[in-house]
Amino acid sequence: MSAENVEIVRRMVEAFNSEDPRRAFASFHPDVEFTSAFTEGKTYVGLQGMRQYGDDLTAVWENWHSEDDRFVDGDGEQVVWLYRIVGQGKGSGVPVDQPVAIIWTLCDGLIWRGQAFLDHREALKAAGLAE
């Protein structure tokens, strides 16, 4: 099951980086909960919450996407996505290049919970893994 979960997260990331990032919603459980590292630790709940998260990001960033995506298989239910978020500040044009990691927990073949970290090692440790 864990290789399948990695593939589910990988497909979500491909959609996230596409011309229509909202396609990623198809990978989320209707009761998804995601705690962001970028919006002062705000937790977004449900598909509407994930839409709000996307809106919150696009309100302050432009041309943003992930790079250097790596996926680490966790305990069978978890996948750790390690990457860099790259873009620029909306209006200011200030470049953004920030390491990020998200521990995704899956349920019934869908992404159910997510916790973001601004440090790869911290995320791996929280997932009970070593780099």
Kindly report the average pLDDT of the chain as a whole number.
92
**Taking residues 5-17, what's their average pLDDT?**
95
CB neighbours of 93 closer than 8 A, spacing ≥ 6? none
**Taking residues 108-112, what's their average pLDDT?**
96
**Is 45 or 19 the better-scoring residue by pLDDT?**
45
**Taking residues 76-85, what's their average pLDDT?**
94
| Class of the domain covering 2-126 | alpha beta
The number of angstroms, rounded, from the C-alpha of 91 to the middle of its chain's C-alpha atoms is 24
Scan for tokens 């073949």, then name that residue. 109
- Residue 85, token pair as written in the block: 């978020």
Residue 63's pLDDT is what? 86
Domain extents for the chain? 2-126
Full strand arrangement of the beta sheet holding 43-45: 43-45, 28-35, 110-117, 95-107, 78-89, 61-73
**Taking residues 111-117, what's their average pLDDT?**
97
pLDDT-derived band at 76, boundaries 50, 70, 90: confident
The yes-or-no verdict on residue 131 having pLDDT over 60 is no
Residue 79's pLDDT is what? 97
Q: Which residues pair with 86 in a beta bridge?
A: 65, 97
To the question of pTM greater than 0.75 for the whole model, the response is: yes
CB count in 10 Å sphere of residue 8? 16
- Per residue in 20-67, pLDDT (tens digit) is 888 999 999 999 999 999 877 899 999 999 999 988 888 888 888 999
pLDDT-derived band at 130, boundaries 50, 70, 90: confident
